[in-house]
Amino acid sequence: MKTFKLKMLEIIDENAETYKPIQIPLIDGLIINREDMENRWLIEAFTDKKHHDFFRNLKEKDKEIIVHVKITTDLNEKATCITTIIGLNEIGDKINVLFLGNMVDQRTPKLEKVLNELIMNGNKGKSLLSKFKESLN
């Protein structure tokens, strides 16, 4: 496993017409490449408790969530992950949110355009990931 500092977290709001990113201010965070057979990543975001209801509602929907993250430094490009919330813990006046999912390679603008088109066509979750992988071939 490899562990990195989480520098930025955005949740993609699937209810907004343009899939608007919602920036979550971080107190701290980690992102771990589990290096497992499913190539999953664990994202741990430590933030203010005022975001608890937002994350609780996302978790209760039990849907996959698209997030953008920056790893190690703010200068790095955003990486896109398709995740689910697997944990939400109150720690005093803060919360710890745990996401588990797969990172989507988006090193070129073309990939972001393809991903956006698939989302706008109604693809979500595993279907989105599958269609995205198909479009790369």
At 37 the pLDDT is 87
CA 46 to chain centre: 14
Residues in contact with 41: Cβ distance below 8 Å, sequence separation at least 6, in sequence order? 31, 32, 33, 34, 81, 83, 100, 101, 102, 103
pLDDT of residue 120: 85
What is the share, in percent, of the chain residues with pLDDT greater than 90? 55
Statement: residue 16 has pLDDT above 90: no
pLDDT tens column, 17-54: 666 789 999 999 999 999 888 889 999 999 999 999 99
